[in-house]
Amino acid sequence: MAKLIILGTSNAVSAKDHENTHMVLVGQERIVMVDCVNNPIHRLEKSGVDFMDLTDIILTHFHPDHVSGVPLLLMDMWLQGRTKPINIYGLHHTLDRMEQLMTMYAWEDWPIFFPVAFQRLPDNEKTPVLACDEFKILCSPVHHLVPTIGLLFEFKNDKKLAYSCDTEPCEEVIRLAEGADVLIHEATGASMGHSSAEQAGQVAAQAEVDTLYLIHYPTGKYTNKNIITEAQKTFQRDVSLATDFMTLDF
């Protein structure tokens, strides 16, 4: 059975008990991490996932609170003797900058480095990202401050989970999440490139999803204790707060 583990739920300003937003989809054949922040190794291990078993990484966009951990993760894999390839997916804007960043670390000079395949995705709606026997993943462009993708996970039992990533409310997310069992939507607050919990509820209602999880919300001293209530103003079905290490089984 595939499962999605939420490794972090905070917006860009993380807190002691809330790491920046990232997650991992665990299947029998593939283990796919969505974004990579700080040093994800310990959070993966706490979730029962060996970081050396990762097969794929999807980078939603090139902001530090979503990609800062990639160089360290790759270096630690190399230091632990990894030899099998890993795939890194993202838009051209994201992967061009990630390759430039790795070049700054002179990784081409690190001896006997394992293969890293950068898979560039077009910015078309519902672009196939990857597929295996248990699930397939699609992506669509969303409305953030830099080119960004949201994701749709389709499982073999016909369950669907959509993830908005960082975005203003937009039709692309509504179409991506249409009829999904679960929508994980950011709730940073209404501002350029972001959404409030109430706006996330509106998107969930328009997409007619069954359950809404709020993520990428203010934490620590910036915590807003009313975001579930705010989302319930516009979405009358099930609303929950995503929490670090929460697991959704599919």
Question: Strand, helix or coil at 248?
Answer: strand
Give 3-249's CATH code, choosing from 3.40.50.280, 3.50.50.60, 3.60.15.10, 3.30.300.130. Answer: 3.60.15.10
**How far is the C-alpha of 227 from the C-alpha of 202, rounded, in Å?**
13
**How far is the C-alpha of 103 from the C-alpha of 3, rounded, in Å?**
34
**How far is the C-alpha of 154 from the C-alpha of 140, rounded, in Å?**
14
**In this structure, what DSSP letter does residue 156 have?**
T
At residue 130, the pLDDT reads 98
Question: Strand, helix or coil at 88?
Answer: strand
Q: Where are the domains of the chain?
A: 3-249
pLDDT in tens, the chain (250 residues): 899 999 999 999 999 999 999 999 999 999 999 999 999 999 999 999 999 999 999 999 999 999 999 999 999 999 999 999 999 999 999 999 999 999 999 999 999 899 999 999 999 999 999 999 999 999 999 999 999 999 999 999 999 999 999 999 999 999 999 999 999 999 999 999 999 999 999 999 999 999 999 999 999 999 988 999 999 999 999 999 999 999 999 9
Q: What is the pTM of this model?
A: 0.97
Average pLDDT across the chain, whole number: 97
Which helix (DSSP H) or strand (DSSP E) does residue 17 occupy?
A: none
At residue 34, the pLDDT reads 98
At residue 112, the pLDDT reads 87
pLDDT in tens, 195-233: 999 999 999 999 999 999 999 999 999 998 899 999 999
Question: Strand, helix or coil at 130?
Answer: strand
Q: Max alpha carbon distance in the chain (Å)?
A: 56
Q: Tell me, what amino acid is at 106?
A: A
At residue 224, the pLDDT reads 86
